[in-house]
Structure 1
Amino acid sequence: MNFKARFERKASAPEVTDADIVGVVTLNQAQFAWFSERLLDDYDFIADYAKETYDDGERKHCLLVLGEGEDDGILVCSEGSFYARYSAYLPKARQILRDEIHRVAELIIKGRFGETENGSWVIGFDDIKEHFDLTVSPTNGIGEMLLGELEAQEEVGAVIATEDCFEISEYLQNAPEDASASEKLLTVFSLMGCNLEDVHLLDADEEHEVATIVELNRNTLTDEGKRDWSDVLAAKVERIYDGAYGTQIEVSGCPAHRLRDFSFALAGYCSEEQWSRWFNEPTANTEAPTMGGQA
């Protein structure tokens, strides 16, 4: 087994410091080679974490810098500066990080942390820090890795990352054996992980007006939108088929007028204030709807 390590001559005891990783940055090979030999230069990626890397007297809060194709990494505690004021070489850093994130993902699912009554999970990033001592945010590198690990769990149907939590829905085949047929159905929330385009929501039993939903994915709704339209997101998917309107998603468990209002709001038939409260801006390839009247 071969790896790199730093040795001290005639040390009576190893000199070590407790460290907490608050973010992960991955550089390409050339950038990492340059950085590894010029730790005292200023770097934008260190500046991005200048306020988050510090020594609180008990441990150093650090940025982990990795290189593409590299196993090892470098811990940086800049203490407000834009260079590696304090640094430490961490052998096998990539594998250590992967193993820890995989362990946390399994515990979140198998331990049912944040489970709700309908078999889904909502677990806040603060809760992950408290229970597992893992610092997570949507953009700190760790959040993206944990999202991928959660999506890879066989029990998981879909995962949506918000600004402060993960919303996780269970894969339908993992429903309890004694669950009713309706309890084993996918929800609209689960389907959002499939990046839906040009679809139509219809009530399974009652006819109602229909509007085309141009785009519906994990980033479509704001946190407030997910709360205000939670009944629509929890609707059970009975079937998906090509119908008179195109791709139609027939659902149950939600009032027909709510399905109609949700679809029309997404089509722009709501006030600008409602739109900004409920929905994020569409992706670059999707034309934003024109705001209509009150839904």
Structure 2
Amino acid sequence: MKAIFERKPSDFDLRSFEVSKTLRLPAEVFEDVLKNPIRDYTFIQENIEQMHCDSSGVYHCLLLTGEGRNDGLLVESEGYGYCRYASYVPNISALTSSALQRLNELMTITADYIVTTGTQNTTEGNWIIGFDELAQQTGFKHDFNNMDTLLDMLHEREEVANVELGDSSIDVCYYLNFCPQYGGHPDESEPEQLLEEPSTISKLKDILHIRWEDIHLLHKDVEVQPATIVELDEHTLTDAGKEAWADVLDAEVIKVYNGYYGLQMDLDKVKPRRLEEFSSMLAGYCPVSDYETWVTQEDDAPPQSPEMKL
């Protein structure tokens, strides 16, 4: 996504506007308008009557965009054939549909309410909000058509570690540094540590020169359900697999120890959901085409790395 940035702006003079007409131009023509906005254009001249500033100060504009593009340009030519007044819009989807704009506003308000309420009230790192509360507080009504979008929006928030959808509520786990009420659990005993904590933080990909067997990947802060990874080393994934799972390979290794599942590795700086998906994928719980694309097959595998089997 692109935007306009002004150097040392003194003020942002925001104006109300309405889109009078949308013109979808050939991509190369729209690109030319962006590069030469003060050039006269026939399509602007032909739509002069669509553009004016009314007595309330509202700009009635053309919305210009290009074929195959999501960005646009609001234009109020003030009777001329060029972009006398113009504003770049990185994403025009909400401007082209009032219904979509209302939905976008509702979803944003709902996601903000869930995150703010959860982080400010949880003492354990998770918070459950019922659909009835959301309907009362934000106007959001549980609907399978928009629930997936809301869940995706929550997953994108930096405060959110994981989201679980129930029959009548949403259960959200948050990263603890965003939860001021979290008090910690000082009485919990530490599990048996098998490797000394490194003086510098290692990433998962940095320790795959060792072949790990029957390893379970867990998140430092959030409970996950790990599948057993029978073997994991620097040769387990293909180049395509390393690219697809780069976020997991870049996770920070906190500690390795014997725990409830056996050999466990606590990781940080990665979404818990991605850890579960990565482990499940290596255990074969994914489409065959994905597995064959991401995981090195036996015929292609090089000699094995030294084992780490405890």
Q: TM-score range by the shorter chain?
A: 0.3 to 0.5
Using the size of structure 1 for normalisation, the TM-score is: 0.34
